[in-house]
Structure 1
C-alpha cells in the first residue's frame, strides 16, 4: 500500500517545522516543493524530503505532483504564503486540480490584493479605513491630501508589514513613496500603492477555523513609523460586548470574501467608531501565534488544519484556559551580530515555554522596518496575564546581544 504523503508548497521559518512535525505525528510523509529548498534550514535539519521546482509555474507543480503520485498516496496539499501571498491561491488551484480538500482560489486571490479586498469589504458594509490606490508619486500625494495626514502607505500586495509605513507629514510621504517606487522595494507585480486612513486604537488578531472564532489576541508594535511586531497576547482582555462585536465583524468578512474553508486570520483595530478591519489573511498566522493559541486554549491550529487538508475531522474543542504572551526580540541597530546569548538562562525561568533565536552570530543585520527586524522571540504562559507578563519580562531581561558596526571598506 502506497505511503500517505502531504505536499507542502514552499516553507516558513516558524510554521514550516510545526507543519512537518504535525504531519509526522498524523502518520503522513511531508514533502516540500520549493524553488529554493536550501532557504528553509529546518528541511535539512529534520531530513524532510524536499524537491526543487519552480513554484511560480503551475504546470510544473502539476507535473511534480503527478510524478509523486506514482510512489505516494497524496492525502493533501497545503503551503505557506511567506513573502508571496500568491502561494495560497496556487495551493487552492492544485487542490481543485487533484480533487483534494482546499480553499477557493478565487476567494484567496481577492484577499491577496489588499485594494480588491478593501473594495469587497466596503461594499458589504464592513467598516474599513478610508483608502485610495495609487500608481505614481502624484497619485500618492493627492490620495493623502484627500484622506488627510497621517496616512498608512503600503504595497497593495504583500505581507509581514513589508513596505508599510505611517507617514505623518508630506516629507515622510515623499520619502516613503520614493522608497517604494525607486527600486528599493521588490514588487512581485506592477507597483500599486494603497494609501489609507490611520485607524488608531488597539490592534487585534482574530484566529478563525472554518466559520468558528477560536481566539482573539492583541498585538503591540514597536515605535512608529514602522509596524515591527513587539508583543502578542492571547487571549486579549475584552468585555463580552467587545468580544461579540469583534467576532461578528470578523465573520462578516468571511461572508463578504467567500471564505470559510480552513484557517483565516483577521486583523482589526478598535477605534472611536468601533472595530475597523485592517486586513483579512486567508491562512494561518505565522509562528509564534499558533503556539500561543495552543497554550491558551489547548487547540493545535496546525494539526487541525492538516486534518482538514487530508479530509479528516478536526477537533476545535478547548481543553484548558491560560494566558500566553510572545515577545519579539528586535534589532536596535544595523551592523554585524557579534554575539547573542542568555537563551538557556531565559528558558530556565519557570513559565517560559520557548526561547527562539532566528539568527546566528556573524549574521549581518540590516533593518527593514518589518518582520525581518525581529531576531528571535520568547513565549511565556501562566493562568493570569499579570503573572505571564512578569515571567516574560524576567526572561527577556536575561537575554542580550551585541551588534557592531559594519567594517568601513572604504578606509
Structure 2
C-alpha cells in the first residue's frame, strides 16, 4: 500500500522490537499523517526494524534521543515544513522522554513526572505506598550487605530487581542470603546495559506466590486482563500470555480495582498503561508487581485485537491526535501468545518448520525474534531476550488457543551444535 506524504507529523522516539511501533505507524499512515522515527544511530537499529519501516515508507532520522533539547530542536525544524501533531514513544526506555518532549511542545500525552515514576521501581513503590494493599513488602539496597539485611527483614523467598531495567533482566527469586548477595553484586557491577546506564542499587521485594496477570489500560480504565504464563524460579521469564484471562468474577474485580488504583496513585491517567499484578497464595488478595506508562509489549496488543477487535495501538494514537478513544471492549474469542526459548549456549545451525506452523488451524502469527537466524552463536542471559520466537493463535477458549499455540511451537525445530572452545570462553 502506498501512503501520501503528509505535512502533519507524529514523531516517535526509538522503537521496540515487538511490533507496536510499526502498528502505530500503519494507523497514522491510514489517517494521512506521516510518522517519523528518531534514533541515536539509525544504521545500528536492528535490520528487522529497518526493513519494516522502509517497507512502510517511514523515515528514520538521527538524533540524540537522550536529550530533550535535541528532540525539541528537531521538532521545531520539522515544524517549518508542516505541523508536528504528536511526540511519543512506545519503547520502554524512551516513554518518559516522549512524555517530556510532548509536554514541552504543548502536545497531548501523559504527565511526564508520572511516566518517570514508572521508569524507577523504587519511585513506583513509593508512589503507591500511601494506598494500602498495592505494594508487597520492599526495601531499596545500595550494597549486597544491605540487600541481604533487607531480605532477612522481609522473609524468604524474596525477589531482587534492578531499579530501571526491563524484560525481567537480572530479576531473581532468592531463597537465601547467598543468592541475594550474588545477584545484587552482579547488578551493581553492570555499569550499563543495552546502552543505558544502570543505577547501582536493587529493590528487594516480598515474593508474591499466586498467579500473575496484567491489566491493559487506557485513560486509567482497565479494558481487559491478560493471564501471564511464567518460567520456573529463580527466573521470571514470560513464556506466554492469554487474553482475555479466564477468572472468577470476584478475582477479576479485585485485579481491576487494584490496577486502577495503581495507575491513579502513580499518576498515569492519560493514554495506555500496563499493570502487572499477582494474586496472593490463597487467591483472596493481590499485589502490584509493576506499573508501565506505555502500551503493553510482547504482542499483547495483537492478542487483544484478535480476541476483541479492539486495537490498542489505534486507541493510543487516537488519544495522541486529540480524539476520544472508545474504551469499551468485548472479547468473543481467546488469543494465546507462546514463546519459544533459545538454548543456554550454542551455534544455531538451522531453523525449520515456520511455514508448516503458519498453516495450522488458528495460527495467526509465527515470528522469529529479531536477530535469531541460522549461523548465530548464542549465550543466554536469563531475560526475555532469550526468546527464539513467538506464536500467536486464536481459539474458542483458553484451552483451545493454548493447545494450538503449543502444537505450532512443536512444529518449529532449531538445530544446534556446540560452540567451539574459543567461542565458549569468549
Tell me the TM-score range normalised by the shorter chain: over 0.9
Q: Deviations over 1:234-262 (max 9, x none)?
A: 11111111111111111111221122100
Once the two structures are TM-superposed, the CA of residue 24 in structure 1 deviates from its matched residue by: 1.6
User: What count of residue pairs does the alignment treat as equivalent?
Assistant: 408
1: CA distance between counterparts of 2:15 and 2:113? 22
* Cross-structure match for 1:30: 35
1: CA distance between counterparts of 2:88 and 2:257? 28
Please give the residue correspondences for 1:62-101 in structure 2 after superposition, counting only pairs within 5 Å: 62-82=72-92, 84=93, 87-101=94-108
* Cross-structure match for 2:169: 162
Question: Which of 384-393 and 237-246 deviates more?
Answer: 384-393
Matched, 1:277 2:282: no
Once the two structures are TM-superposed, the CA of residue 189 in structure 1 deviates from its matched residue by: 4.7
2:159–2:174 Cα contact (<8 Å) kept: yes
1:163–1:185 Cα contact (<8 Å) kept: no
Please give the residue correspondences for 1:230-241 in structure 2 after superposition, counting only pairs within 5 Å: 230-241=239-250
1:333–1:403 Cα contact (<8 Å) kept: no
Structure 1 runs (4+) greater than 6 angstroms displaced? none
* Cross-structure match for 2:68: 58
Q: Deviations over 1:223-281 (max 9, x none)?
A: 21111111101111111111111111111112211221000111010113511111111
1:298–1:321 Cα contact (<8 Å) kept: no
Matched, 1:129 2:136: yes
2:257 aligned to which of 245, 248, 253: 248
1: CA distance between counterparts of 2:29 and 2:89? 16
Question: Which of 33-42 and 195-204 deviates more?
Answer: 33-42
Please give the residue correspondences for 1:223-234 in structure 2 after superposition, counting only pairs within 5 Å: 223-234=232-243
Matched, 1:265 2:274: yes
1:208 aligned to which of 200, 212, 217: 217
TM-score by length of 1: 0.95
Q: Deviations over 1:186-211 (max 9, x none)?
A: 36254111011111110001000112
Q: Deviations over 1:344-385 (max 9, x none)?
A: 000000110000001111222221111101111001102222
2: CA distance between counterparts of 1:72 and 1:125? 48
Cα distance change of structure 1 residues 376 and 103 upon mapping to structure 2, 3 Å threshold: same
Question: Which of 255-264 and 345-354 deviates more?
Answer: 255-264
2: CA distance between counterparts of 1:74 and 1:393? 44
Q: Deviations over 1:83-105 (max 9, x none)?
A: x2xx2221111111111111100
2: CA distance between counterparts of 1:158 and 1:46? 26
1: CA distance between counterparts of 2:51 and 2:309? 30
What SS does structure 1 have at the residue aligned with 2:24?
A: helix
Matched, 1:409 2:422: yes
2: CA distance between counterparts of 1:120 and 1:99? 26
1:334–1:403 Cα contact (<8 Å) kept: no
1:177 aligned to which of 165, 169, 184: 184
2: CA distance between counterparts of 1:304 and 1:339? 39
* Cross-structure match for 1:366: 379
Q: Deviations over 1:49-107 (max 9, x none)?
A: 0111111111111111111111122121111334x2xx222111111111111110011
Once the two structures are TM-superposed, the CA of residue 319 in structure 1 deviates from its matched residue by: 5.9
Cα distance change of structure 1 residues 190 and 31 upon mapping to structure 2, 3 Å threshold: same
2: CA distance between counterparts of 1:286 and 1:310? 22
What SS does structure 1 have at the residue aligned with 2:411?
A: coil
Root mean square deviation of aligned Cα:
1.8
2: CA distance between counterparts of 1:127 and 1:389? 30
Cα distance change of structure 1 residues 228 and 190 upon mapping to structure 2, 3 Å threshold: closer
Q: Which runs of 5+ in 2 are unaligned?
A: none
Matched, 1:21 2:26: yes
Cα distance change of structure 1 residues 189 and 373 upon mapping to structure 2, 3 Å threshold: closer
Once the two structures are TM-superposed, the CA of residue 222 in structure 1 deviates from its matched residue by: 1.6
2: CA distance between counterparts of 1:287 and 1:315? 23
2: CA distance between counterparts of 1:405 and 1:260? 50
What SS does structure 2 have at the residue aligned with 1:152?
A: strand
2: CA distance between counterparts of 1:188 and 1:240? 43
2: CA distance between counterparts of 1:386 and 1:137? 43
* Cross-structure match for 2:13: 9
Cα distance change of structure 1 residues 220 and 56 upon mapping to structure 2, 3 Å threshold: same
* Cross-structure match for 1:111: 118
2:170–2:187 Cα contact (<8 Å) kept: yes
Q: Which runs of 5+ in 1 are unaligned?
A: none
Please give the residue correspondences for 1:291-370 in structure 2 after superposition, counting only pairs within 5 Å: 291-318=302-329, 320-358=331-369, 359-370=372-383
